[in-house]
Chain A
């Protein structure tokens, strides 16, 4: 099993800000995803698109911090909101810690 830990960050309300109880978290089992979706996510780890904001451009976009955990270790990337498949959007739940 390859666990994918997902955190959605940013936005107008500042999800994941220091000192903020506002979090958005999710988890997926990569091995249970359809092959094409799994490949799309793995490509984000191999070649992560920049999550840095451009100028002029969008303000308050969400971005995702994803960590995949395998037997050989873990790897974390941050990617723009629109770079991920819909299953990632659907996996996260907004909570107040």
Chain B
């Protein structure tokens, strides 16, 4: 399965054989079917390559000292990657310019704070496609690139408006290249939480905010007027996961998580654990607690079925190891997890 978001190949093939359509139209449909199939195969293979490569070698040769950042325009279709946007950093299209600048910012965040070279830590190109679909209320990581919709202008506005959204989505790539958490059950909730934690940290880092001044809201900048009129201020609130101003209120305790729960729902308790640890320790979220989370995410190789209890234990262990001379860090991490019942 992959997220091609295109007309199924069978439909394209059948339509290409419809005698009522002009010959040129039928040829275009057949060509699209062939190309789409190959793109689908390419994306599936890209995902498999990630797993095999990470399992096979200790250290891949560095691809680039710093990642290239590319932007493509889908022009309101579902065809990926779209048309390349030349010089996106100075584009007249504000979406293209913003996507380039914020993605470059995420690369700098990971490099400056954690010493990480791009999504895969080997300088891979960070590729984004914008204007995906028409009024499309979604943003995605498809296994090899980012995809952003423009929003419908009422419930949501352009998804690239959220710096935390961009940080969130790119962090799914980081997770794919590190813990490789499955996107279901507890690993799925952890996967989502990693993206909220690092997306929020990126937002705070860009603004140079300490933990007390951060809003800890995910998706605050993409909420549209219709949603705002109903009192919605965000998708999720890491400080108060069950708050009514959230579009998707979440559980606050680990005991509330059940098998099969949507990862956007089960990320509530680990989000709150991270927030609590950060507030307890103080200062900037990325300085100490963020580094503990980063080492826990990237320091042990692939554990796709990692449970929340395991991750909590790992962060406690890392906090002791990284900050043995500063016991307040481990104490803050411990308090965070205990607050959610772990």
Binding site for B on A (CB under 8 A): 10-15, 17-22, 24, 36-37, 40, 43, 49-62, 80-86, 89, 94-96
Contact = CB atoms under 8 A, between A and B. Distances in A.
Contact of A56 (B47, B155, B232): B47
Output the residue of A12, A13, A22, A61 with the most chain B CB within 10 A: A12
B264 A22 contact: no
B5 to A, nearest CB: 5
B248 A17 contact: yes
Given A58-B3, A58-B141, 6 more contacts: A17-B264, A37-B11, A54-B2, A56-B47, A59-B142, A80-B3
Contact of A59 (B7, B183, B248): B183
Contacts of B182: 53, 55
Contacts of B191: 59
Contact of A61 (B8, B140, B247): B140
B8 A83 contact: yes
Contacts of A95: 155
A61 B136 CA distance: 12
Interface in B235-263: 235, 247-249, 262
Interface of B, secondary structure class, is loop
B10 to A, nearest CB: 6
Interface of B: 1-8, 10-11, 14-15, 18, 44, 47, 50-51, 78, 133, 137-143, 152, 155-156, 159, 165, 168-169, 172, 176, 180, 182-184, 188, 191, 195, 219, 226-227, 230, 232, 235, 247-249, 262, 264-265, 304
Contacts of A21: 230, 247
A57 B6 contact: no
Interface of A, secondary structure class, is loop
A53 B2 contact: no
Nearest to A82: B4
Contacts of A54: 1-2, 47
Given A55-B180, A82-B2, A94-B152, A40 B8 contact: yes
A81 B8 contact: no
A89 B28 CA distance: 21
Given A58-B3, A60-B169, A81-B5, A12 B139 contact: yes
26 contacts: A11-B138, A11-B140, A12-B168, A14-B248, A14-B265, A20-B247, A20-B248, A21-B247, A36-B15, A36-B18, A54-B47, A55-B47, A56-B50, A56-B180, A57-B2, A57-B143, A58-B142, A59-B142, A60-B141, A61-B142, A62-B138, A80-B1, A85-B11, A95-B155, A96-B155, A96-B230
A61 B156 CA distance: 17
Nearest to B135: A94
Nearest to A86: B7
B291 to A, nearest CB: 24
B303 to A, nearest CB: 12
B2 A55 contact: no
A14 B169 contact: no
B18 A12 contact: no
Output the residue of B14, B44, B139, B247 with the most chain A CB within 10 A: B247
Contacts of B156: 13
Contacts of B184: 52-53
Contacts of B227: 96
A54 B133 CA distance: 23
A49 B247 contact: no
Nearest to B7: A86
A91 B227 CA distance: 22
